[in-house]
Amino acid sequence: LTLKEAFKDKFLMGVAVNRYQINQSNQEETDLIASQFNALTAENDMKWMYIHPEENTFNFEQSDKLVELAQKNDMFVVGHTLVWHSQLAPWVFKSNNGDTISNEELNGRIKKHISTIVGNYKGRIDAWDVVNEALEEDGSYRKSPFYKIGGEAFIEKAFQYANAADPGAELYYNDYNLITPEKRNGAIRIINNLKSKGIKIDGVGVQAHWSLNEPSIEDIETAIKMYSETGVKVMFTELDISVLPSPWNAPTADVSVSFENNPTMNPYPNGLPDSVQTQLAKRYEEIFKLFNKHSDKIGRVTFWGLHDGLSWKNNFPIRGRTDYTLLFDRGMKPKKAFNAVINTV
């Protein structure tokens, strides 16, 4: 049984795919993607710096390959992401006539960015993460240049431009730490604000870069219920479970230096011990039991990477760590966690 077969009556099972995978097209990887998953997200290739590197240059080469791969295998495609303060092209906030960009000029750029990209993929990309990470941890708006210049209206406009360019595409707000009450309430405020103005939003994307014990199942459940009550679908969009200590919780770790100088941050030089393998499987099992219980509210669960060797968590938040976040190991073999997840159905 594969993931997409096991969960076909519950929600979509997605995976994020990176540029290297698309270009090298390793057959074993492609087969694993196609057999296990029915939704695809570009890990990086649709971000502003890659897809719109200069004001008048759009580069669809990589994203086209990804969309082709998805079409060939009948997969749902998620466009990630239209407006985000990170992995942005350097020209975006530089005015053509002076150094401080006006709201009008910036808004024109956002409009062109969204209309061109969403329009180009009209009918081919099924859903968009329209705005990514627009909240601070306390639930207030993130003080990014998008917000400082455009106010909260930048979010409303982004959704309107996306909807105008492809009325058939689903539109999402995506962010991390959306389980904490503060940030959860911030996201609910965004959803309700859009809805009260008649602007289409179909879902909230909870990134789900989680660890072995955080967040708690109870808090995840509360968030699923509260998001669902606003009338949007809940998506878990970037699921991975780190088995390593968080440097923010480990007082001895210095996130600014590499792991070579932080040996305690890479505690499993001989591979992941069975006991932790089991812990990871248990954690995934509890999470999917909860997802199944609320499958009527959940549209999709997407893993942020195909196998442990490809997980961004090997380099974040400390470069050079070896993490074991996903359901397939570095040899693309299913881990204990894979079976645990399948067996929840």
**Active centre residues (catalytic):** 238
CB 205 → ligand XIL: shortest distance, Å? 9
Q: CA-to-CA distance for 215 and 194, rounded, in angstroms?
A: 27
What are φ and ψ of residue 219, in 5° steps?
-70, -35
* Residue of closest CB approach to ligand XIL: 312
HEC per residue, 92-120: CCCCCCCCCCCHHHHHHHHHHHHHHHHHH
**Count of residues near ligand XIL by CB under 6 A:** 6
Task: Return contacts of 262-267, CB within 8 angstroms, 24+ apart.
Answer: 262/318, 265/318, 265/321, 266/320, 266/321, 266/322
Q: Tokens 């076909």 map to which residue?
A: 8
Q: Which is nearer to ligand XIL, 23 or 103 (CB)?
A: 23
Strand partners for 39: 14, 76
Of 107, 132, 242, 262, the one binding ligand XIL (CB under 6 A) is: 132
Give the nearest distance from C-beta 206 to ligand XIL in angstroms: 11
Whole-number Å distance between alpha carbons of 175 and 205: 6
Nearest approach, Cβ of residue 100 and ligand XIL (Å): 28
Q: Which is nearer to ligand XIL, 36 or 132 (CB)?
A: 132
What is the Cα Rg of the chain in Å?
Answer: 20
Is residue 211 near ligand XIL by the rule CB under 6 A? Answer: no
Q: How far apart are CA 259 and CA 321, in angstroms?
A: 6
Beta carbon nearer to ligand XIL, 132 or 160: 132
Per CB under 6 A, the list member of 60, 91, 268, 312 interacting with ligand XIL is: 312
What is each CA distance from 227 to 21, 185, 253, in whole angstroms? Answer: 34, 9, 35
Query: How far apart are CB 43 and ligand XIL at their closest, in Å?
Result: 5
By beta-carbon proximity to ligand XIL, the closer residue of 314 and 344 is 314
207 binds ligand XIL (CB under 6 A): yes
Residue 242 binding ligand XIL, by CB under 6 A = no
If you search the block for the tokens 């792991």, which residue do you land on? Answer: 259
Residue 246 CB, nearest approach to ligand XIL (Å):
15
Range 17-76, binding ligand XIL (CB under 6 A): 43-44
Compute, in degrees rounded to 10, the torsion defined by CA atoms 239, 243, 249, 250: -150
Q: Which residue, 44 or 193, is less far from ligand XIL as judged by CB?
A: 44
Which parts of this chain interact with ligand XIL (CB under 6 A)?
43-44, 132, 207, 238, 312
